[in-house]
Amino acid sequence: MPFDLVIKNGTIVTAVSTIQTDVAIQGDKIAAIGNSLQGTNEIDAYGKLVIPGGVDIHVHLEMPIGKFTSTDDFYSGTRAAALGGTTTIIDFVEAKPEQPLLEAYLERQTLAKSKSVIDFGLHMTITPTDIPKLEQLPEVAEAGCKTYKLYMAYGHRLTDDALYKAFQAIKKVNGLPVIHAENWDIICALIEENVANGRVSPHWHSRSRPEEFEAESVHRVIKIAERVGLPIHIFHVSCDAVVQEIQAARAKGIPVTGETCPQYLFLSQELYDRPGVDGTLPVCSPPLRPKPENDKLWHALANNDLQIVSTDHCPFTKEEKATGLNDFSQIPGGVPSIEMRFASVYQGVVNGRLSLNQWVNLCATAPAKLTGFHNKGHIGVGYDADIVVFDPNLEKTISSQTLHETAGWTPYEGLLLKGWPKTTIVRGKILNLE
């Protein structure tokens, strides 16, 4: 009996091995791996890499932030993700102050399900108004939530005592906190000082969010988690000072993981000095850092000092960004990268910094394992048939004209990438989304 679909003669790359053979899919699962497999439908992958679909555990789709809502919705965002080789995303849910957590979770799940073309999960955000609702966490966990987003900045910022209480509740449900770590008090003081002195251009965005205070907040949150005794994951590490904190904690056996994002690997703070609206576009938080930090983060990925690359995809239009032209603190924060993430990290393989296996681990296997998607992120019999056929020789110059994201601009305009996905398969189905 032939299998439903066989991917033939490709080089199968997982986090632990690289072999040239066939992969067979039956229904929505990987059914066999070996030579001379027969399929009703076959894909010739000779000369291509056959890799697990990417898992991006940090995206903000149709997310209201301040006056605006991020431009990609669950359709356009997941379509762009899929065309870039990502087959699972994790987005966020925030409950209104009076709303039960489970109700908010189920509402957002219904919305995401109605539009997504790939699989998804949701991080439940715990805001200050949710601290009195912490006894509701078991219901949310029961509904399938494994990860809980805690902010140390913005209006959702939790003070240390609230972090401590939230960690205790998350520990009881065996959940994983995922953390936006910055020192909000210092940021507010620096913004106030800069704006009061007429320092209002985007140049001052990164100068109001110093590296050492990102590192300080990471140090602090690791200490609080250590005290409570649960693992934590640090989102969007922007600089080496933070890597040092994570590395030191891990060396002591403290269960901390860290991610960085394409913007911190490819872009730097000089971009904030571009004239006009162009300087506002790359505003994100934590901010872009000086150029030498890019290299240090690549080094951290190669050394397993950081374990994951996600995107923090959170796009706003040029018009929305321009509303903060005369006050950097009003620029909606976030950049798009959901489509180019997998190929962008492949540049680490092209330039010899990463092995093929490290690349797959950073973009698919490690994020799937960390967030409880135990049937994803790997090519093995019984796993979900989320597979990407990746052409290592296809060259692509990134342009907003050809990407499928909807912001209308990309901070990577003109960046030449070697390697790009050719075919994306989600639960056994070849996606045709062009």
Binding residues (CB under 6 A) for ligand DUC: these are: 60, 180, 284-285, 312, 314, 333-334
5/80 with CB nearer ligand DUC: 80
Residue 312 touching Zn ion (CB under 5 A): yes
361 binds, among Zn ion, ligand DUC, none (CB under 5 to 8 A by kind): none
User: Which has the closest alpha carbon to 166: 153, 187, 182, 152?
Assistant: 152
User: Which has the closest alpha carbon to 240: 222, 260, 266?
Assistant: 260
CB 233 within 8 A of CB 203: no
284 binds, among Zn ion, ligand DUC, none (CB under 5 to 8 A by kind): ligand DUC
* Distance (Å, whole) CA 31 – CA 39: 11
151/346 with CB nearer ligand DUC: 151
For 278-318, what is the HEC assignment?
HHCCCCCCCCCCCCHHHHHHHHHHHCCCCCEECCCECCCCH
Residues with Cβ within 8 Å of residue 273, at least 6 apart in sequence = 202, 203, 279
* Identified binder of Zn ion from the candidate list 8, 48, 180, 233, rule CB under 5 A: 180
Smallest gap from residue 132 Cβ to ligand DUC (A): 24
Smallest gap from residue 257 Cβ to ligand DUC (A): 17
Strand-pair partners of 377: none
150/388 with CB nearer Zn ion: 150
240/312 with CB nearer Zn ion: 312
Q: Token digits for 105?
A: 């979770």
CB 95 within 8 A of CB 104: yes
Smallest gap from residue 330 Cβ to ligand DUC (A): 13
180/289 with CB nearer ligand DUC: 180
Smallest gap from residue 145 Cβ to ligand DUC (A): 19
Binding part of the chain for Zn ion, among 44-52, 180-188, 223-231, 260-268 by CB under 5 A, reads: 180-188
Q: Token digits for 62?
A: 């149709």
CB 309 within 8 A of CB 205: no
Residue 56 touching Zn ion (CB under 5 A): no
74/383 with CB nearer Zn ion: 74
CB 118 within 8 A of CB 81: yes
Smallest gap from residue 313 Cβ to Zn ion (A): 8
User: Which residues contribute to the site for Zn ion (CB under 5 A)?
Assistant: 180, 312
